[in-house]
Amino acid sequence: MSERETWTSRLGFILAAVGSAVGLGNIWQFPFQTATNGGAAFLVVYLLAVLAIGFPAMLAEFVVGRRAERNPIDAFGRLGHGNWKFAGAIAAFTAFWILSFYSVVGGWVIRYIFGSATGAYFGAPSEYFGAIAAGPDALALHAVFMALTVGIVAAGVDDGIERATKLMVPSIIVLLVGLGAWAATLPGSGPGYAYYLAPDLGALTTNFWSILPNAVGQAFFTLSLGMGAMITYASYLGEDDSLAGDGVTIVALNTLVGLLAGLVAFPVLFAIGIEPSQSGLGAAFEMLAGAFGQLPSPTGAILGVVFFFTLLLAALSSAISLLEVVTSYVVDNYDYGRPTVAVALGTGIFLLGVPSAFGVSNLGWYNAIAYNLLLPLSVLLLLLFVGWVYADGAIGELRQGSTLGEGFNRGWLWWIRVVVPVGVLVTLLLGLQSLALRAGVLANPVV
């Protein structure tokens, strides 16, 4: 077994974690989850879910990762509870599963960079999406996206992941701010801000139960929780960092990027007269492409290339954290070199993603299984472990490097023991219901 790597700096960790968090979840999923769940009402529930459920759960992952200095599967054994290994295995499986279709969407993004440059989608954005989303081309670009991901992970923790994300994260923020400023200048964009930012309290109370599971699932997905990614990244972390402090920075930056993406998407949609609740996995692509296509050339082409290139960076810095989860398990346990491991696992993930590359509805199924089942289940198990099985060790680890008082630590522990698991359990049950509805096993919602 080779010597374990660490981040070269605290900033390296924060940026890598932000790079993991900021991805297709913020820029592709978030605006459209918001749109399909009623606009600003969703935003309110989502922000609450991030604060009340996502942030404490992230600290739980950090605690396990840093104390164990192991990948998520071995972490439990290292902490003296080998019988909880299955929880880590579920998390690692979730990472494997999600990356398989995440990479297909990453392939679409690559396609749109070229589509913007050549103006291929300008006349007919919906038809273009329909034509490129599935089939041999989508498969080829899925392979390209996986190859890029494998390349970065193979290069290792500080040369690969840390260096790449130091470049990616600041560029994403700068580019989104620029696009947001541009969106504000579009005629007709005004109602987009109202739709996005002014919650209708009536809709909020009526639809709360249907909004809740999506908001919580979105919080997990976007904060990279439930896949062992944060356990893995924290395992490369020094003892003198404040976990809560880093957590706040990561959550705040990730939320900022999501909000910025909304500030690009909604004004643009209203400006070009698209009804935001028009949903579907291709909606983000069709709408943005529609917007760029309406601009005079070459402005549309340039902005399109810039936008989709940004999205590619964001997607890659997330994908590497997913591949790192499984890679770290094999690298920690066997004598194979990191590059060999990354290539072998990348190939497996590529194969798992083949159905998604051949049908958008298959991809929708993979996504729904992740959101509604795997993510909440995996987070729930981790919380039960940290809160009830490993509480003393967890508190001790949270104290390390922290300047917050004991009140915070104790408060956190009780919060993740009781409040968060109940919230996640409700989410899981509602999620299972929605899977059953989707499969046609249930005809009507129970709540």
* Distance (Å, whole) CA 202 – CA 205: 5
Burial 264-291 (b: 16+ CB within 10 A, else e): bbbbbbbbbebebeeeebbbbbbbbbbb
By CB under 6 A, tell whether 310 contacts ligand PHE: no
Q: For ligand PHE, which residue of 243, 322, 384, 394 counts as binding (CB under 6 A)?
A: 322
29: which DSSP letter? Answer: I
Q: For ligand PHE, which residue of 34, 71, 214, 318 counts as binding (CB under 6 A)?
A: 318
Q: Retrieve residue 97's tokens.
A: 């599963």
By CB under 6 A, tell whether 143 contacts ligand PHE: no
Question: Which is closer to ligand PHE, CB of 227 or CB of 269?
Answer: 227
- Among 318-326, 353-361, 384-392, 406-414, which window interacts with ligand PHE (CB under 6 A)? 318-326
By CB under 6 A, tell whether 42 contacts ligand PHE: no
- How would you class 440 by CB atoms within 10 Å of its CB: exposed for 0-12, middle for 13-18, buried for 19 or more? exposed
Say if residues 318 and 20 touch (Cβ distance below 8 Å): yes
* Radius of gyration in angstroms for the set of CA atoms belonging to the chain, rounded to a whole number: 21
Q: For ligand PHE, which residue of 12, 15, 18, 26 counts as binding (CB under 6 A)?
A: 26
Least gap, CB of 73 to ligand PHE (angstroms): 16
Question: Which is closer to ligand PHE, CB of 226 or CB of 304?
Answer: 226
For residue 23, give Cα distances in angstroms to 237, 243, 287.
Answer: 22, 22, 18
By CB under 6 A, tell whether 165 contacts ligand PHE: no
Question: Which is closer to ligand PHE, CB of 68 or CB of 98?
Answer: 98
Question: Which is closer to ligand PHE, CB of 84 or CB of 221?
Answer: 221
By CB under 6 A, tell whether 378 contacts ligand PHE: no
* Distance (Å, whole) CA 401 – CA 246: 11
Least gap, CB of 24 to ligand PHE (angstroms): 4
User: Under 8 Å CB-to-CB from 390, ≥6 apart: which residues?
Assistant: 64, 79, 81
Contact pattern for ligand PHE over residues 97 through 126, marking x by CB under 6 A: -x----------------------------
By CB under 6 A, tell whether 376 contacts ligand PHE: no
Q: Retrieve residue 15's tokens.
A: 């940026």
**Binding-site size, ligand PHE (CB under 6 A):** 15
Question: Which is closer to ligand PHE, CB of 45 or CB of 227?
Answer: 227
User: Tokens 């930012």 map to which residue?
Assistant: 197
Least gap, CB of 217 to ligand PHE (angstroms): 11
Question: Which is closer to ligand PHE, CB of 98 or CB of 330?
Answer: 98
Question: Which is closer to ligand PHE, CB of 26 or CB of 189?
Answer: 26
Least gap, CB of 220 to ligand PHE (angstroms): 8
* Distance (Å, whole) CA 44 – CA 196: 10
* Distance (Å, whole) CA 64 – CA 84: 12
User: Under 8 Å CB-to-CB from 151, ≥6 apart: which residues?
Assistant: none
Q: For ligand PHE, which residue of 100, 224, 328, 409 counts as binding (CB under 6 A)?
A: 224
By CB under 6 A, tell whether 23 contacts ligand PHE: yes
By CB under 6 A, tell whether 227 contacts ligand PHE: yes
Question: Which is closer to ligand PHE, CB of 25 or CB of 267?
Answer: 25
Q: What's at 303, amino acid-wise? A: L
- Among 35-43, 218-226, 304-312, 433-441, which window interacts with ligand PHE (CB under 6 A)? 218-226
Look at residues 277, 255, 282 and name the one whose alpha carbon lies nearest to residue 266.
Answer: 277
Least gap, CB of 260 to ligand PHE (angstroms): 13
For residue 405, give Cα distances in angstroms to 60, 63, 395, 408, 409.
Answer: 17, 17, 12, 6, 7
Alpha helices, DSSP H, located in 239-374: 243-272, 283-294, 299-333, 338-352, 354-357, 360-369
Question: Which is closer to ligand PHE, CB of 100 or CB of 321?
Answer: 321
By CB under 6 A, tell whether 229 contacts ligand PHE: yes
**With left for phi above 0 and alpha for psi between -120 and 50, is residue 288 left, alpha or beta?**
alpha
User: If DSSP codes are grouped into helix, strand and coil, which group holds residue 277?
Assistant: coil
**Phi, psi at residue 102, to the nearest 5°?**
-55, -40
- Among 17-25, 126-134, 155-163, 265-273, which window interacts with ligand PHE (CB under 6 A)? 17-25
Residue nearest ligand PHE (C-beta atom): 25
Which residues contact ligand PHE (rule: CB under 6 A)? 20-21, 23-26, 98, 221-222, 224, 227, 229, 318, 321-322
